[in-house]
Amino acid sequence: MTTAAPTPAHTLEATPPLMYTPTPTTTIKTFPDIGNGNYDWAREAVEVLAVKGIIIGIEENGIMYYKPDGNVTRVQFCALIVRAFELESDADTQPVDFEDVSGHWGKGYIDIASSAGIVRGYKEQSEKDAGHVHTERECMMFRPDQSITRQEIFTLIARTMRYKDLGRDVSGDETETLLTKFEDRADIGIWAGTDIAFCVKNELVTGYERDGKYYFEPFQNTSRAETAVIIYRGYMIKI
Instruction: Give the tens place of pLDDT for each residue, 126-148.
Output: 655 555 555 566 799 999 999 99
How does residue 90 score in pLDDT terms, banded at 50, 70 and 90?
confident
Beta-carbon count within 10 A of 8 CB: 16
Does residue 208 belong to any structural domain of this protein? no
Does residue 165 belong to any structural domain of this protein? no
Instruction: Answer for the pair 161, 202: CB distance below 8 angstroms, yes or no.
Output: yes
- pLDDT given for residue 23 in this prediction: 45
How does residue 172 score in pLDDT terms, banded at 50, 70 and 90?
confident
Q: Is the pLDDT of residue 3 over 50?
A: no
Among 73, 82, 80, which residue's Cα sits nearest to residue 100?
73
Does residue 136 belong to any structural domain of this protein? yes
- pLDDT given for residue 136 in this prediction: 64
- Compute the CA torsion angle 136, 140, 143, 149 (nearest 10 deg): 120
> What range does the domain containing 116 cover?
87-146
Average pLDDT, the chain: 86
- pLDDT given for residue 2 in this prediction: 40
Q: Report how many domains make up the chain.
A: 1
**pLDDT, tens only, 177-187:** 999 999 999 99
**pLDDT, tens only, 19-69:** 444 444 445 588 999 988 889 999 999 999 999 999 989 999 999 999 999
Does residue 239 belong to any structural domain of this protein? no
Does residue 154 belong to any structural domain of this protein? no
What is the rounded CA–CA span in Å between residue 149 and residue 154?
A: 9
- pLDDT given for residue 35 in this prediction: 84
Does residue 73 belong to any structural domain of this protein? no
Does residue 9 belong to any structural domain of this protein? no
Residue by residue, DSSP assigns 53-77 as TSS--EEETTEEE--TTSB-BHHHH
**pLDDT, tens only, 105-128:** 999 999 999 999 999 999 886 655
Q: Is the pLDDT of residue 220 over 80?
A: yes
What is the rounded CA–CA span in Å between residue 217 and residue 111?
A: 29
Specify the pTM.
0.84
What is the rounded CA–CA span in Å between residue 8 and residue 100?
A: 33
Does residue 93 belong to any structural domain of this protein? yes
Q: Is the pLDDT of residue 13 over 80?
A: no
What is the rounded CA–CA span in Å between residue 22 and residue 44?
A: 10
